[in-house]
Structure 1
Amino acid sequence: MVLDILRNERKVSVLFFIILTIDILVKLNLDPFPYRYVSKPPLVILLFLYYYYNNKEKRKRKKLWVYLALCCFLLGDIFIINHTNIMFLSISLVLFAIAKVFLSLRLSHVSDFSVVRLIPFSIILFAYTVFIISLLFNSLGNFFVPALISFFISLVLIQFAYLRREVVDKFSYVSVFIGIIFYKFSEGMMAIKTFKMDLPMQDILIMLLYGISVYLIFFGIVKEEFKKKDDFISF
């Protein structure tokens, strides 16, 4: 019964968004401890199980990058629940940064790509990052360097996702790319909320964007099909 659900994309999707809705309601209406420590982890755990039973990866190293990324997202989710605690916030930032590095390794490849096509996109991303950093500059304090590194890793991750366009099928490309863009917005909103000021509907939007982002990213990876033979960079 459980395996039937985990191997069925539609059932897993419905279950994922039910869990996401429950977690958002818990976030809005109940104390973080102990309720969110129960409601939030199942999101990533479900994605972990879905990937485990459905991935078509041929290389063990690519599987390892995904498993490690999911583990870091899971631990980061747990620590960031208590983001008012500086130690827990610091640990969560490190874990999410490492998760993005593992995802970058998984998405990277050695196929040829157009540098000219990448430039306008990179400029837009850089401008958005500079805007967020400028907005938070006076509020980050000791977190300035970690935040800068984290945003830089996000830029690298988005570029790797963008460069998959000529390598993988359209569904996987669009799913992963949009997922990472959503993650970037969620990350930016979380940073503004934590270090600068409250935003309208922040508790709903941050978690909703984050949930949709990880769903799209890992579902896109599972459904990935190559247009042509391609080797990923080995690290």
Structure 2
Amino acid sequence: MKQNIFKNFKYFTLLYLLVLVIDTFVKNSDYKYSLRYITKPLLVVLLIVFFLINNKEKYKSGFCLVLGAYLLFFLGDILLIGNDTKLKFAIGGTFFGLAKVLLSIRFTNTQDFEIKKLLPFLAFCFVYMSVIMLFIYNNLKLYFIPSLCYLLVVMMMGQFAYLRKKEVNNTSYYLVLFGVFFSMLSDGITFLKVFYDSKILYHTITIMSFYAISQFLIVVGIVKETSSLTKLKLQRVKSKTDK
């Protein structure tokens, strides 16, 4: 029965959203906050199980990269539960940064690209980083270099996700790309909360919601890619044969 839930995309989506709603409620209920040590990591556990059951990674390296990334997200999630401090944010950010590096490697491809096609995304990244730094720069102090490195990793993952366009099917491409976008939103609000205003933008709801949505979209996008790459390659071979 459990496996059927993870095999059925609609049932899994409902289960994941239910856990997210419960976690959001627990996070905003002080007397039940200790339950977050169950509800928050459970979201990543669900994604890991979903990936393990549904993935069709052609190469073992791809499988290990995704699994390793989400295990790091799991550790980072546990570490960041409770009272937020800049030190905990830095250590948790290290786990998240390493996870994003692994996903960036997973998203790499051998396709050549023209720099002009990357310009819109680079412009978006420049605005993204500039706006965040504009607000938090004066409060970073010793955390300037780590924060800068993390933001660069965030943009690197976004770049590799953006460059997947002609290498994968559209469903996988846009799921991952939107997942990265929500991840950037979550990271941006987190930086503003820690280094600018602790009460910014309904952070008790927005940070975790955007983060959970991003993780869901990325994992589903990866699974959709692995399930359709074979068809995509067959179509390319057939197209060449017809010519």
Q: TM-score range by the shorter chain?
A: over 0.9
C-alpha deviations, 1:150-197, integer Å up to 9, x for none?
000011100100001111111100000000000001000011011110
Residue 202 of structure 1 corresponds to: 203
- Aligned residue for 1:40, secondary structure, equals helix
Task: Look up the equivalent residue of 1:210 and give its one-letter code.
Answer: Y
Distance 1:182 1:23, change over 3 A: same
- Aligned residue for 2:201, secondary structure, equals coil
Distance in 2 (alpha carbons) for counterparts of 1:129 and 1:228? 37
Residue 233 of structure 1 corresponds to: none
Distance 1:38 1:26, change over 3 A: same
Distance 1:176 1:31, change over 3 A: farther
- Checking the alignment, whether the CA contact within 8 Å between 2:182 and 2:214 is kept in structure 1 is yes
Task: Look up the equivalent residue of 2:193 and give its one-letter code.
Answer: K
Moved more, 167-176 or 2-11: 2-11
Distance in 2 (alpha carbons) for counterparts of 1:83 and 1:173? 36
Look at both structures and tell me which one has the larger radius of gyration over its CA atoms: 2
- Aligned residue for 2:165, secondary structure, equals coil
Distance in 1 (alpha carbons) for counterparts of 2:72 and 2:19? 19
- Checking the alignment, whether the CA contact within 8 Å between 1:73 and 1:96 is kept in structure 2 is yes
Deviation (angstroms), 1:83: 5.2
Moved more, 108-117 or 36-45: 108-117
- Checking the alignment, whether the CA contact within 8 Å between 1:139 and 1:195 is kept in structure 2 is yes
Normalized per residue, which structure has more helix? 2
Deviation (angstroms), 1:33: 5.1
Q: Which runs of 5+ in 1 are unaligned?
A: 231-235
Output aligned runs, 1:12-161, within 5 Å. Answer: 12-30=12-30, 34-82=34-82, 84-161=84-161
Distance in 2 (alpha carbons) for counterparts of 1:191 and 1:113? 32
C-alpha RMSD over aligned residues: 1.6
Task: Look up the equivalent residue of 2:44 and give its one-letter code.
Answer: V
Distance in 1 (alpha carbons) for counterparts of 2:30 and 2:47? 25
- Checking the alignment, whether the CA contact within 8 Å between 2:189 and 2:201 is kept in structure 1 is no
Moved more, 52-61 or 107-116: 107-116
Q: Percent identity?
A: 36
Deviation (angstroms), 1:119: 1.4
Distance in 2 (alpha carbons) for counterparts of 1:103 and 1:31? 36
Task: Look up the equivalent residue of 1:196 and give its one-letter code.
Answer: Y
Task: Look up the equivalent residue of 2:146 and give its one-letter code.
Answer: P
Residue 164 of structure 1 corresponds to: 164
Residue 219 of structure 2 corresponds to: 218
